Amino acid sequence: MKIITISREFGSGGRELGKRISDILGYDYYDREIISAIAEKSGFDENYIKEMTEKKLRVNIPISYGRTMYYEPYINTNAEKILAAQSSTIRDIAEQGRDCVIIGRGADVILSRYNTVNIFVYADMEYRVKRCLEYSENEKDMTEKKIIKKIKEIDSARASFHSFLSEGKWGRKENYNLCINTTGLQIKNLAPIIAEYAEIMFKQKRSK
């Protein structure tokens, strides 16, 4: 079983790259499907889950350590339940034993003992804003300023989620097999090469 995980900065085209790679290689593809599975596991509404996982997580640690120590009053144990359901969903996917591409959701860390190739996709802010304006249903009517704010918020949420799972910092190149800067690139031209790269990686792992 071969699993390609795609971690990505918001707006960098990581999702499109992952989808195209899965089409080229004939792998299963998991992206928003994961949200539905989490909903089923946790009992929460899909929209609520989506919203929660795009927010910076509030966690059970003192936020005013050293002065009066107290705990964040809005500790969201729902967040914790969602995170647990998410990890469990990712593992379920892997346990099916089928070749797949998984977009985000910490799959690179959660599946560290599986046969994975971990890819990180990133790009300049300017390019990411442009992509959001051109391609995204949710952002194409937003102002540039609002898009930048949203990009930063979502990236921050992703980094925060990652820090729950691993000490390694989100987006640190050492955690990935390949980091691709998509600035100025057309993802459709890039996808066949990255698919080929992944196949070589898996072949080489097998031959060891």
The Cα–Cα gap between 31 and 15 comes to 8
What is the residue whose two structure tokens read 């540039």? 144
Q: Give 149's Cβ-side CA count (13 Å radius).
A: 5
173 binds a copy of itself (CB under 8 A): yes
The contact mask relative to a copy of itself for 110-139 (x = CB under 8 A, - = no) is ----------x-x-x---------------
What is the distance, to the nearest Å, from the Cα of residue 5 to the centroid of all Cα atoms in its chain? 8
Residue 169 binds to a copy of itself (criterion: CB under 8 A): no
Closest separation in Å from C-beta 200 to a copy of itself: 5
Count the residues of the shown chain that bind a copy of itself, applying the rule CB under 8 A.
27
Cα separation, 156 vs 196, in Å, equals 31
Residue 40 binds a copy of itself, judged by CB under 8 A = no
Q: Does 190 bind a copy of itself (CB under 8 A)?
A: yes
Closest to 143 in 3D by CA, of 153, 162, 129: 129
* Amino acid at site 88: S
Length of the chain, please? 208
Q: Judged by CB under 8 A, which stretch of 29-37, 55-63, 156-164, 194-202 contacts a copy of itself? A: 194-202
201 binds a copy of itself (CB under 8 A): yes
User: What is the distance between the alpha carbons of residues 99 and 88, in angstroms, rounded to a whole number?
Assistant: 18
Q: Which residues bind a copy of itself (CB under 8 A)?
A: 120, 122, 124, 171, 173-174, 176-181, 183-186, 189-190, 193, 196-197, 200-201, 203-205, 208
